[in-house]
Each structure stands twice: as structure tokens, then as C-alpha cells.
């Protein structure tokens, strides 16, 4: 697939995906979704790629939301019949390998929701998160009301959804929405460095750790603890577990097979 709205490059074992519609503040339309879905599927399928970073082009925005111009005249029945926005679940959230959102500037509406689809968010000090859909007469449609509430709790999520107010980087870190804040000039370098660190881990263990933490986010404690134990037990059957423990005992770095 030829990409027009995103850029994809490989930096060693890290795939860097950049939303590339800076004039529209990287607004997310159907073509962006199709291209992102293709890029994430290629990343997941490539045995040499182990972590990805998604970021926005331009300093102003990660993404200013779903493309309002694409939705403005669309009949309601089409939204329903196309199951509009469901492709984000199958095309982006379904990615099995770990990926990081590197957010500078606006992450609004679908942009905030896309960032929250990542395994974690590293924010520039310029980042601003918000769910302003109410001002357009609608509501979040790509997970905002659900993931934001789980991430920052009911009080802040409710206030943000009901007023559309934005949350700056410091409040986002304090509230648990982002893992950490870095100066805007260092954002990409820091995100790529963290991704490279993850990419150097035993790959199956990285995928399982991702699945476990997501299970904590998405299910109850009893189910989560059972899943964790079973996944842990399954990982003990991997060559990388034998290698990892032998390497520790022999005081040398592990060499991973990815199985």
C-alpha cells in the first residue's frame, strides 16, 4: 500500500509511524485509518520489528480529532451501517506488539482516543488532551468515554466530556493519563529510545506483558489474576525463558530467539 497521509520508517527494530496531515492538524479520516491499519498490520507481521512509536507531524498537534469535514454531511444511517469507527478496534487496537504514542500539541477527540489506544503515552510539555465532541453535538466514538474514565477516573473524565476542557501535560501525568513528560524538543528521541529498550526485550514476553496489563485495564481482578498466572505458566515453556534465566545465572546478556 502506498501511504499519502502517514509516514512509516524503520529504525532498527522500531517502527516509527507519523501522522502526516499537518495542515489539517493530522485530523483522522477514513484514509488515515486505512493507512494506519495497514501499517500496524505490517508492523505486527514483521518478525524483525518489536516496538512502534506513533506520533504527529508538525509541532501543533498529535491529532485534532476525527475529521469533522468528513462527518459533517454523512447521513446517520451510514454511520450505523458502516459501523463507523469500528475499524479503529480491528485496525489499531488489535495490534499485538507494544507501541507508544508520542504526543505533542493537541490530542483532541479522536486524537486523544487514538493516543489512549497506545500501550502508553509519552507527552511533550506542550501536549493538550481533550474530548470536545460535546461542542459538536456528539460524544466520543472511538473509546474516549471509556478509556479516559478508566485512565483518570470518573470526576475528571466526566468534567472533560461535559465541558470539553483540555488537560495539559502536567495534569495528564498527575492523573495517570501519560507515563511521563519530556521537553517537546526531546519527545521523538525519548520515545524512540524507550521503544528501542522495549524492542530489545524477549519479544514474546513483551507481547504477553502487554496483554496482561491490558487484561487488568479491561476485566475484573479474579479474571485478571487467573489470566496472569496462565500466561506466566505458558511463558515458562519458551526458549527465551531458558535463555533469560541461564543468562542471569551466567552473568551475561540474554540472546533472544523470540519463541
CA distances from 43 to 57, 111, 120, 126, 194 (A): 20, 21, 17, 28, 17
- What are the grid coordinates assigned to 200, written together? 530489545
- CA separation for the pair 11, 9 (Å, rounded): 7
5 lies in the site for ligand CO8, by CB under 6 A: no
Q: Of the candidates 106, 147, 156, 167, which one interacts with ligand CO8 according to CB under 6 A?
A: 106
Task: With H, G, I as helix, E, B as strand and everything else as coil, classify residue 30.
Answer: helix
Pick the piece of the chain touching ligand CO8 (CB under 6 A) from 94-102, 138-146, 178-186, 249-257.
138-146
N residues, the chain? 259
Do the Cβ atoms of 116 and 151 come closer than 8 Å?
yes
Binding mask 57-96 for ligand CO8 (x = CB under 6 A): -------xxxxxx---------x----x------------
Task: With H, G, I as helix, E, B as strand and everything else as coil, classify residue 251.
Answer: coil
Q: Considering the candidates 65, 91, 105, 110, report the single residue annotated as catalytic.
A: 110
Q: Of the candidates 91, 98, 141, 254, which one interacts with ligand CO8 according to CB under 6 A?
A: 141
Sign of CA dihedral 210, 211, 216, 217: positive
Query: Minimum distance between the CB of residue 133 and ligand CO8, rounded to whole angstroms?
Result: 5
Q: Of 204, 212, 213, 217, nearest to 146 (Cα)?
A: 217
- CA separation for the pair 153, 176 (Å, rounded): 9
Q: Considering the candidates 35, 113, 173, 190, report the single residue annotated as catalytic.
A: 113
Q: Of the candidates 56, 91, 98, 109, which one interacts with ligand CO8 according to CB under 6 A?
A: 109
Query: Minimum distance between the CB of residue 138 and ligand CO8, rounded to whole angstroms?
Result: 4
- What are the grid coordinates assigned to 148, written together? 479516559
List CB contacts of 161: < 8 A, sequence separation 6 or more.
Answer: 131, 133, 134, 139, 140, 144, 145, 148
CB-nearer residue toward ligand CO8: 140 or 254: 140
Query: Minimum distance between the CB of residue 198 and ligand CO8, rounded to whole angstroms?
Result: 28
Query: Minimum distance between the CB of residue 135 and ligand CO8, rounded to whole angstroms?
Result: 6
Binding mask 25-64 for ligand CO8 (x = CB under 6 A): x-x------------------------------------x
Q: Of the candidates 132, 143, 202, 254, which one interacts with ligand CO8 according to CB under 6 A?
A: 132
Helix (H) or strand (E) holding 14: strand 14-19
Q: Considering the candidates 39, 61, 63, 66, report the single residue annotated as catalytic.
A: 66
Task: With H, G, I as helix, E, B as strand and everything else as coil, classify residue 143.
Answer: coil
Question: Catalytic residue positions?
Answer: 66, 110, 113, 133
Residues near ligand CO8 (CB under 6 A): 24-25, 27, 64-69, 79, 84, 106, 108-110, 132-133, 136, 138, 140-141
Amino acid at each position: 500500500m502506498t501511504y499519502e497521509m502517514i509516514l512509516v520508517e524503520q529504525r532498527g527494530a522500531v517502527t516509527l509511524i507519523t501522522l502526516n496531515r499537518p495542515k489539517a492538524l493530522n485530523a483522522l479520516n477514513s484514509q488515515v485509518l486505512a493507512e494506519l491499519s495497514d501499517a500496524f498490520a505490517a508492523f505486527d507481521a514483521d518478525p524483525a520489528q518489536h516496538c512502534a512509536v506513533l506520533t504527529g507531524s508538525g509541532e501543533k498537534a498529535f491529532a485534532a480529532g476525527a475529521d469533522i469535514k468528513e462527518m459533517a454531511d454523512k447521513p446517520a444511517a451510514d454511520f450505523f451501517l458502516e459501523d463507523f469507527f469500528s475499524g479503529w478496534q480491528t485496525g489499531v487496537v488489535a495490534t499485538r506488539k507494544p507501541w507508544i504514542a508520542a504526543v505533542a500539541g493537541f490530542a483532541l477527540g479522536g486524537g486523544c482516543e487514538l493516543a489512549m489506544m497506545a500501550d502508553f503515552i509519552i507527552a511533550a510539555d506542550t501536549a493538550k488532551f481533550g474530548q470536545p465532541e460535546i461542542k459538536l453535538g456528539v460524544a466520543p466514538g472511538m473509546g474516549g468515554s471509556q478509556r479516559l474514565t478508566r485512565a483518570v477516573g470518573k470526576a475528571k473524565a466526566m468534567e472533560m466530556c461535559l465541558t470539553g476542557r483540555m488537560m495539559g501535560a502536567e495534569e495528564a501525568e498527575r492523573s495517570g493519563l501519560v507515563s511521563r513528560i519530556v521537553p517537546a524538543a526531546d519527545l521523538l528521541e525519548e520515545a524512540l529510545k524507550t521503544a528501542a529498550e522495549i524492542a530489545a526485550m524477549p519479544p514474546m514476553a513483551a507481547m504477553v506483558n502487554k496483554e496482561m496489563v491490558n487484561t487488568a485495564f479491561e476485566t475484573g481482578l479474579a479474571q485478571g489474576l487467573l489470566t496472569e498466572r496462565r500466561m506466566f505458566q505458558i511463558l515458562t515453556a519458551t526458549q527465551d525463558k531458558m535463555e533469560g534465566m541461564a543468562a542471569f545465572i551466567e552473568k551475561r546478556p540474554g540472546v533472544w530467539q523470540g519463541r
